Amino acid sequence: MTAVREALPEGRYGRSADERADRKLKIIGSVLGVALIGVVGWIGYDYVAGQKVSAEVIKFKIVSDDRVDVHLEVRKDRDAKGYCTLRSQRVDGDDVARKDIRFDDRSDRIDRIVSLRTTSRATSVELLGCTADGGASR
C-alpha cells in the first residue's frame, strides 16, 4: 500500500495564510497598544500639569458642638490666587458648615489651621475642591 501525504512539505511553499494573519494581528495589536499607552500618558500629564491649585485636609479636630478646627495644606504656583471650599457634616450626612478659604499668599505651599463654625456637632470634614482665580475647579 502506498502512503498518502495529506500536508504539503514544510517550508517548501512559503508561509501559510494563518501565519500571515497571525503576523498582521501581532503588528496591529502592537500599534494599538503603543497608541493606548501614549493616550493614557498624555491625559495623565495634562491632568497633573494643568492643576494650578491642589489641597489636602491633613487632619481635623472637633473642638465643640459648634466648632471644628481643620489643618489645610494648599500647594499652588507661587503667583496663583484662589480659594478652597471645605464642608463639615454630622453623623446623618447633613451639612453643618461650609466655608471658602481664600489664599493670596505669594508662596507655593500654605499650611493653615482653619476654624469652621457648625450648626450642630460635626463628625467629618471634607475638601470639596479648590479653584484658582480665573480658572476651573480641580
The predicted-structure confidence for 1-42, as pLDDT tens digits, reads as follows 566 667 666 666 666 667 777 888 999 999 999 999 999 999
DSSP-derived secondary structure letter, 42: H
Closest CA to 85 of 138, 128, 134, 136: 128
Measured CA to CA, the distance from residue 131 to residue 111 in angstroms comes to 17
The pTM assigned to this predicted structure is 0.60
How far is the CA of 39 from the CAs of 36, 46, 83, 84, 127, in angstroms?
Answer: 5, 11, 31, 30, 30
Cβ atoms < 10 Å from Cβ of 88: 25
| pLDDT tens per residue across span 40-93 | 999 888 776 766 788 999 999 999 999 999 999 998 888 888 899 999 999 998
